[in-house]
Amino acid sequence: MRKAMNKQLDFIFRRRSVRLFTDQPVSDGHITDMLQAGMSAPSARARDPWRFVVTRQRRDLDAMRTILPYGAMLKDAAAAFLVCGDITQAHEKLESFMLQDVSACVENMLLAASALGLGACWLGVHPRRERIEGLRDYFKLPEHIVPVAGIAVGHPATVPEKRTRYRQESVLINR
């Protein structure tokens, strides 16, 4: 017997990868809300190594779509974030800490989008060298700023059904 999903966590269960968007713009307030949520993530030694490129420019969205092989949804996205890490700010300047911190940030941003009624999709960048270099070159990022993930965002054309992928067999208790 499967336990019902906790309604207080609906914004998490509603978080799904959205790839179809309406042409409605995303407000400045919602962009800021997502950035604030991202920057509320935990960070090793509170180093906060995350850095962001935010764009609504069609030429930038199209360039990202060209660089990211699974970025087709950027064609209709209202905006995108390129979430990067500053390796000089990461705890002990270690890539693994930077990646954990930035990943927590990205997940907070995706959850914020869900809570705000927006659709979003995480676009993998790191560790693909051609994607990192392509985005670094396009956005003219210095060497110490590492593109980690993209986020396509917009108003969803359809609202996916909420879900959990909970599997009891993935859980070990006391061992």
Q: Where are the domains of the chain?
A: 41-158
* Angle between the N-to-C axes of helices 58-67 and 129-139, in degrees from 0 to 180, rounded to the nearest 10: 160
| pLDDT confidence bin for 175, thresholds 50/70/90 | confident
Calculate mean pLDDT across residues 94-104. 98
The residue written with tokens 């993530």 in the block is 41
pLDDT of residue 38: 98
pLDDT of residue 153: 98
For 103, the 3-state DSSP assignment is helix
For 119, the 3-state DSSP assignment is strand
Report the distance separating Cα 22 and Cα 123, nearest Å: 19
Question: Is the separation of the CB atoms in 141 and 135 below 8 Å?
Answer: yes
CATH of domain 41-158: 3.40.109.10
pLDDT of residue 160: 87
Question: Is the separation of the CB atoms in 122 and 151 below 8 Å?
Answer: yes
pLDDT digits (tens, 9 = 90+) for 123-147: 999 999 999 999 999 999 999 999 9
What average pLDDT is seen over the chain?
A: 96
Report the distance separating Cα 45 and Cα 133, nearest Å: 28
Would you give the DSSP letter of residue 86? E
**Rounded to 5 degrees, what are φ and ψ at 145?**
-100, 115
Q: In 45-144, at which residue ranges do the beta strands (DSSP E only) sit?
A: 50-55, 79-86, 119-124
pLDDT digits (tens, 9 = 90+) for 15-64: 999 999 999 999 999 999 999 999 999 999 999 999 999 999 999 999 99
Q: What are the tokens at 117?
A: 């009624």
Report the distance separating Cα 152 and Cα 121, nearest Å: 5
pLDDT of residue 96: 98
The residue written with tokens 């990022």 in the block is 141
